[in-house]
Amino acid sequence: MENNRGSWSSRFGFLMAAVGSAVGLGNLWKFPYLAGENGGGAFVLVYIGLVVLLGFTLMLAEMTIGRHANSDAYGSYNKIKKGWGFVGGIGILAGFLILSYYSVVGGWVMKYIVASFTGTGTDKSVFFGNFISSPVEPLVYHLIFMGLTAIIVIRGISGGIEKASKFLMPALFVLLLVTVLRSVTLDGAMEGIKYFITPNFSEITLKVVIAALGQVFFSLSLGMGIMVTYGSYLRKDEDMEKDAFIIPSLDSLVAILAGFAILPAVFALGFKPGEGPGLMFITLPAVFENMPLGSIFGALFFVLVFFAALSSSISLMEVTVAFGIDKLKWSRKTSVIIFTTLMFIIGIGASLSMGEWSDFLIPWIDGKSYGIFDFLDVVTSYYLLPLGGLLGALFIGFVWGVPNAVKEIKIGSKFVTEKLWSILIKYVVPILVFLILLSTTGLLNKLFGL
């Protein structure tokens, strides 16, 4: 039944939307360079193990809270236990702030699609630096990206988000497979393949585990209210246990395919695998430029990245829009327009902080000062998301109670992993997420000298 809140019209549509929320720049950009920096196959092995422990457990937990309460992230926690809405509020705030600067990066991706087709930007580092520091052009792309996100979300759950995701996700997989085939067939690609799939167990250190732990958490969109919100649109007979396996599995598949698309090409053409954040916008364009038919594959790759960015942005937008509909009693249209406008305005500051406003710095509790873009990233990624995930796990384990959550899950599932999940959500996940918080705030470094 489609109402002001909306609902999924099919299980496939929900799965594609949920996978789309998880698949984003973290898979196609961050995972390959983290693998490059942290021992290749060693990082991949640790990552897969943590997806099973952390990803499945928290994803099922968040969907369960949402479906049980049938409300936005704030309302779901508050309905289950009065006074605990702030946990969902942390996720809503995180999603709101993330999309404010994420859409700026989405705009950069759109610019690179245009540049790939037109062949502009010979020196990639100069081209990228000049573009992001421009006062006007990035804002135009930022506005277009926010506009596309708003158009999809304003059409509702089944008519907008679900319909878009049914196209975006299959198209993303096809484009990614084409890119992988091109990359692994380059002369010299085998060195990169071996690096990516061969684990060197001596490389598995606490630092690698923490890096993989953080990547699992952020890649799966945990702690930002998305899965609580999407779960609230589920029917009671939905098998959430199965969904909580499928979504992280497909998300991880995209991340691993991205590694096969990028690292063999990087090795084949003599670049370094651990180039860090510049890998996507500086190194990869240079890689594509140096391969046969590179302009075509470069354009395809950035179309692929655009699909991933857009599928994530619509889920981030829906978290805040659902709050506007359920808590503030706005219509979907009003909620989308107001939140899109606010995010765009904040994004202006994030974009200008790369150029004309680069001297404007905001002090933070870690003793450092950041530009607007970096400030939004640090506050959300390092503090709000892990905090939201930690409190969510503790909420089920010690406030709502594991037996109540299990009862909700069993409405539509046999729940064969009940005993394991109960232990993980109550004890193991809080410890793992607490380690992320310690790491990202720098306390782990002080304690263990990482």
* Span 271-306, pLDDT tens digits: 776 665 667 787 778 777 777 777 788 888 888 889
Kindly state the tokens that stand for 261. 């698309």
For residues 402, 65, 51, 149, the Cα torsion angle rounded to the nearest 10 degrees is -170
Other CB atoms within 10 Å distance of the CB of residue 9: 16
CA distance 391 to 85: 11
Strands 362-363 and 369-370: antiparallel
Q: CB–CB of 103/256 below 8 Å?
A: no
Amino acid identity at 19? V
Identify the CA nearest to 222 among candidates 408, 65, 448.
65
Does pTM surpass 0.85?
yes
DSSP code, position 203: G
CA distance 318 to 93: 12
Lowest model confidence (mean pLDDT) among 208-212, 250-254, 354-358: 208-212
Q: What is the pLDDT of residues 112-161, one digit of tens each?
A: 888 887 766 556 778 888 999 999 999 999 999 999 999 999 998 888 88
For 34, 213, 219, 258, the CA distances from 43, given in Å and listed in that order, are 8, 10, 15, 14
Check residue 148 and give its pLDDT: 96
pLDDT at 220 > cutoff 60:
yes
Residues sharing a CB contact under 8 Å with residue 49, sequence separation 6 or more, in sequence order: none
Average confidence (pLDDT) over 2-25: 80
Domains and CATH numbers, the chain: 11-448 (1.10.4160)
